[in-house]
Structure 1
């Protein structure tokens, strides 16, 4: 019976609400989401709420293609809401001009989507803590996460980015920050903290040697996914920037 219960829990964690959409009437947007629950979700209750992570995909990558990361966060006790930000009728991501200016509409729209989903699902999942969110995003999804974190919202506890390149990480003492960097592309000036800022705001930046920006999803090699998971787990389970143990 215990084995059956464990199997059911694992199945529910991986596949709950797969392929669902949530409708934002104010913007007429049907937003794709995939919700996966912590392995021991039966321990979540209104008195002791479980943690929530909102995962934003890289541009052109499906939000369902970060299962390696969602499963890891489920094992760490998080409910993960993976979000597809780009809809068919959205304008393409700009590739010319001052990219911070020409892409800001995309990031602003994505931040509004995160805020909307937070507000909508908090009443649905009352056994989960939406007031201390983990925002995690790859590439453009990391830019979206950083954009929201820079708007002054008080419900963000932690931001983790996977090689985002354009939007400055939040410099706030009330938000924990980890940025995992690839080896092939640099971030724009001002995106990452200076050594002094990293100390002042306890921000962590770590590069994974020989890693590629475009490999930080389910499509990437196993060694890289394992290393990303190791860094994320060590960071979330520690205090400060002890992520290499």
Structure 2
């Protein structure tokens, strides 16, 4: 049995492999389901030259395992991807009436705490990965959670990619680079996206995909949209400028 455990543990760290588990946050008595995808070039990840890490937060009601098109793209780019299930059965439902920013803030605060906990928990397990330079990726409510954490005081969030999040203002911080991919069917709330002047002052790139739908930005969406999102993410990480991306 011990020999079998060693084999399974080794398999978890094979390039391109995926492992699923529930991580216990004892301080909150909370069990957090995650799926960890390892980079395609895993042999390049060392303590001296750490590989990058992305935390992927799903849209509300979408399984955290339904973004394979993104995790595969990020793995090709050398990232470990931690896909996180934020909503548990015992959590209150996301509000749909009244001042949504106020009523949903409890959800975003809880999600930000989860991301912060996972950063500390996984950093000790994976010394070959750069948890102090995190990329946060989030769809819809997962993007709101990512933006919320980005707005908090921390030194480890270095970049954020949101897929059509609509409620929480993007951070206006010179130390955080941001790509926000927008759908075409719903607008963001006032103040969520930067003004023209803020575009110039901060490293924020906003790109709208024509004829794309908010609810299609997962594995269940059309292939052309998943391909476009993956292309935008790849170009952003490879340093292609916002103007060049917008023209593509």
Corresponding residue for residue 171 of structure 2: 170
Task: Give the secondary-structure state (helix, strand or coil) at the position aligned to 2:131.
Answer: coil
Q: Which runs of 4+ in 1 moved over 3 A?
A: 8-15
Question: Matched residue pairs, number?
Answer: 237
Task: Give the secondary-structure state (helix, strand or coil) at the position aligned to 1:123.
Answer: helix
Corresponding residue for residue 145 of structure 2: 144
TM-score, normalisation: structure 2: 0.92
Deviation digits for residues 2-47 of structure 1 (CA, Å, limit 9, x no counterpart): xxxxxx99994554312x1100000011000000010010110000
Corresponding residue for residue 62 of structure 1: 63
Matches within 5 A, 1:92-241: 92-238=93-239, 240-241=241-242
TM-score, normalisation: structure 1: 0.93
Whether the 8 Å contact between 2:176 and 2:203 is mirrored in structure 1 is no
Task: Give the secondary-structure state (helix, strand or coil) at the position aligned to 1:129.
Answer: strand
Deviation digits for residues 192-211 of structure 1 (CA, Å, limit 9, x no counterpart): 00010011002100000000
Whether the 8 Å contact between 1:23 and 1:29 is mirrored in structure 2 is yes
Task: Give the secondary-structure state (helix, strand or coil) at the position aligned to 2:32.
Answer: strand
Give ranges in structure 1 of 5+ residues lacking alignment: 1-7
Task: After TM superposition, give the deviation of residue 133 of structure 1 in Å.
Answer: 0.4
Whether the 8 Å contact between 2:12 and 2:18 is mirrored in structure 1 is no
Task: Give the secondary-structure state (helix, strand or coil) at the position aligned to 2:119.
Answer: helix
Q: Distance in 2 between matches of 1:209 and 1:9?
A: 41
Deviation digits for residues 133-159 of structure 1 (CA, Å, limit 9, x no counterpart): 000000000000000000021101100
Q: Distance in 2 between matches of 1:155 and 1:11?
A: 24
Corresponding residue for residue 5 of structure 2: none
Corresponding residue for residue 17 of structure 1: 19
| Superposed CA RMSD | 1.6
Corresponding residue for residue 43 of structure 1: 44
Corresponding residue for residue 3 of structure 1: none
Task: Give the secondary-structure state (helix, strand or coil) at the position aligned to 1:101.
Answer: helix
